[in-house]
Structure 1
């Protein structure tokens, strides 16, 4: 029937409806502000963690905090694009603050938010779970790794190929583990808070 009328069926032409309302943008604004504060404080957590626990464990306890904008945006708004916007807007505000990352914070935010967004889109926004957020957080870690390659590629190639490969794998696992850990904590915290207010 679709061939006769020249119209595509819903299955052959999938669409993503955003349907954002003022309240959704208000939530994203709040997420952006809170996320930027968390991102700012994460620098101190990272410095303290790496000093006390070493580079790998220090990354695990801190890096997931830099992916929190995506998780908060997705859980609170629950619409396509909310993870990406939550992370990117938070990173934009962080880039304005006097942090070591400067403008590169926005690059990280875009890639981390995009990685989380793709996971949420694939799994579906309507039935978000702690597991889906943990996977989105882990994906954000891969986004951070890609940003590292784009911004600091020369540092990776200062070592031998074998050492570089080991370094990339170790960093990827640490980023993903931290992202999954903090995403699960943030999702559960927000879910519990919303349930209590309902």
Structure 2
């Protein structure tokens, strides 16, 4: 194999999961689950404060439960990473105990993970940049908003609209764009050299 072909082989994206991908995605999920749980403890007052501005505005705080999927996905860059990490994080959050129960922890976590996954799938898992990660975070927020809309049928159309938009914005900014920038910062330390996200070669 020529040097040029070797370089091309290195750059070529591979969707097949490796053991290291599973381990790192799981570590991200566990760390995220602990953060989810910590946010559960302190979120009551901030949620009430934002809701007091106008019902639905509290959706701006949803990103603290949305970031596991986009972060894991942008680091390991494998199909299913967002769903895997968000679901595992939500399961851990539920296991540690909170006020939301199975629906408000695990089920909504799965829905959020699916939303994040769709945001990357629309690019056929070939685009791993600020745009795709931001869309992934935004759709995780939409998934969260849809879940709470369906489980709160008494909400007015105005509240649903505000909540969905706020949740999507929250996801796009914190769970999407900020997680992408975090991945870039981590990659600069060299700890992601075993991942495409830690290498500088352009994928083909």
Range class of TM-score, shorter chain: 0.7 to 0.9
Q: Deviations over 1:28-76 (max 9, x none)?
A: 210111110121122245334235555555431x211211111111011
TM-score (norm 2): 0.77
TM-score (norm 1): 0.79
Q: 1:123 to 1:76 in 2, by over 3 A?
A: same
Q: Where does structure 1 lack aligned partners over 5 or more consecutive residues?
A: 1-16, 157-163
The answer to whether the aligner puts 1:177 opposite 2:157 as a matched pair is: no
Tell me the distance in 2 between the aligned counterparts of 1:125 and 1:18: 8
Q: Where does structure 2 lack aligned partners over 5 or more consecutive residues?
A: 1-13, 194-204
Q: 1:186 to 1:44 in 2, by over 3 A?
A: farther
Q: Is the 8 A contact 1:46 1:58 kept in 2?
A: no
Larger RCO, structures 1/2 (Cα 8 Å, 6+ apart): 2
Q: Secondary structure at the match of 1:83?
A: helix
Tell me the distance in 2 between the aligned counterparts of 1:143 and 1:51: 21
Question: 1:40 matched to which residue of 2?
Answer: 37
Q: Is the 8 A contact 1:88 1:113 kept in 2?
A: yes
Q: Bigger shift: 43-52 or 29-38?
A: 43-52
Whose helix proportion is higher, 1 or 2?
Answer: 1
RMSD: 2.0
